[in-house]
Each structure stands twice: as structure tokens, then as C-alpha cells.
């Protein structure tokens, strides 16, 4: 066992450094996302979801770097990743709207000018919706209409339609 550690000491030290950098970056990204959420007065639960997306992406990159450190052949990784991406691609093609809504949810977190409690009007040819934003989730936004109905509207559609702010912080009134 000690022979293994002495033989692979450099790889173990480099992997440890990569893991420490991973945890530090994860902490920094979490702090930045929470700070952005706080500055835009976004609920912490939304900030945690977005931070989790970044953490998973960073974790996958870390695994890739550690694989390179331990000398995994690039050709082997290409085969593994192409197989995995083929399966994921088929799954996401079958549920393309889910991926689109998750991506839109991340975009809404950073650039959506309205927040929970604002009364908005969504201009759609088929259906114009005037409602108060009740919750913004990963896949959809929850809107409460004046007559009390709950409308769930997909995030990707919200980015495609014109939205007008009618009243700021309608919950507070």
C-alpha cells in the first residue's frame, strides 16, 4: 500500500490541489450568486438552485481534470463522453423544452427585471395574461391572476414574449 502512495504521490498531491481549488471556487461562486440574488432582492431558494447548477458543472470539470492527472487516455475519454452525450442528447431531444426552461430559469435569475410580488402583463397573441408574480422556479413562473387563478407559465416562453410591468410589489399593498 505504501508503494502505491510513493509511486503516485505527485498525482495524489495534484488531485488534492484540484479538489481544494474546486471547493474554494464552489464557495466563491455560491457567495457571488447569493450576493447577486440579494442585490436584486431575489429569494434565497432561487439563488441556491442557480448555485447548485454551477456547482454540478464545476464538479464535472473537476472530475475531467482529475482524470487527466491520473493519465486517462484522451481517446478513452472521447469514447466515454461521446457515448454519454449521445444518451443525454437523445433524452434531452425527447424533452427539449425541459432543458430550454432550465436554461431560461438561469437567465431569468441574472437578468429578469421583475421580481416576486410585481404585477406584470404578458403580451401573447393567443392569451394576454395580467397577474402578480407569485414564484419563479427552475422550469416555470407562477402567476396569480386578479380572479385568484394560478397560472404556470414556462420560463422559455417568458423570455420570448413582451412583458410589461404594471405595478411594483403588488403583494405589499
- Helix (H/G/I), strand (E/B), else coil: 142: strand
What confidence tens digit (pLDDT) does each residue in 113-145 have?
888 888 999 988 888 889 998 888 878 889 999
Evaluate whether residue 58 is within a structural domain: yes
Cα dist. 61→17, 77, 146 in Å?
A: 14, 13, 46
Report the CATH number that the domain containing residue 151 is assigned in CATH: 2.30.30.60
What confidence tens digit (pLDDT) does each residue in 90-117 have?
766 666 777 787 788 888 878 778 888 8
Evaluate whether residue 89 is within a structural domain: no
- Helix (H/G/I), strand (E/B), else coil: 84: helix
Residues 65 and 114 in one domain: no
* pTM more than 0.75: no
Evaluate whether residue 91 is within a structural domain: no
Evaluate whether residue 83 is within a structural domain: no
Evaluate whether residue 64 is within a structural domain: yes
CA distance 129 to 158: 11
Instruction: Provide the domain limits for residue 151.
Output: 110-172
Evaluate whether residue 81 is within a structural domain: no
The set of residues, in sequence order, having a beta carbon less than 8 Å from that of 169 and lying 6+ positions away, is 117, 118
The percent of residues in the chain predicted with pLDDT above 70, rounded, is 92
CA distance 54 to 38: 18
Task: Give the chain's domain count.
Answer: 2
pLDDT at residue number 22: 94
Amino acid at each position: 500500500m505504501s508503494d502505491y502512495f510513493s509511486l503516485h504521490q505527485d498525482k495524489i498531491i495534484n488531485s488534492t490541489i484540484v479538489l481544494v481549488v474546486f471547493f474554494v471556487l464552489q464557495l466563491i461562486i455560491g457567495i457571488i450568486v447569493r450576493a447577486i440574488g440579494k442585490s436584486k432582492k431575489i429569494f434565497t431558494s432561487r439563488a441556491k438552485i442557480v448555485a447548485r447548477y454551477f456547482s454540478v458543472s464545476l464538479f464535472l470539470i473537476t472530475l475531467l481534470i482529475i482524470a487527466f492527472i491520473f493519465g486517462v487516455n484522451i481517446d478513452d475519454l472521447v469514447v466515454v463522453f461521446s457515448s454519454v452525450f449521445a444518451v443525454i442528447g437523445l433524452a434531452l431531444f425527447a424533452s427539449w423544452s425541459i432543458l430550454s426552461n432550465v436554461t431560461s430559469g438561469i437567465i431569468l435569475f441574472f437578468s429578469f427585471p421583475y421580481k416576486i410580488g410585481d404585477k406584470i402583463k404578458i403580451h401573447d397573441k393567443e392569451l394576454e395574461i395580467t397577474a402578480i408574480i407569485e414564484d419563479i422556479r427552475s422550469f416555470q413562473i407562477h402567476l396569480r391572476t386578479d380572479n385568484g387563478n394560478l397560472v404556470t407559465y414556462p420560463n422559455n416562453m417568458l423570455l420570448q414574449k413582451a412583458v410589461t410591468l404594471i405595478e411594483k410589489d403588488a403583494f405589499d399593498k
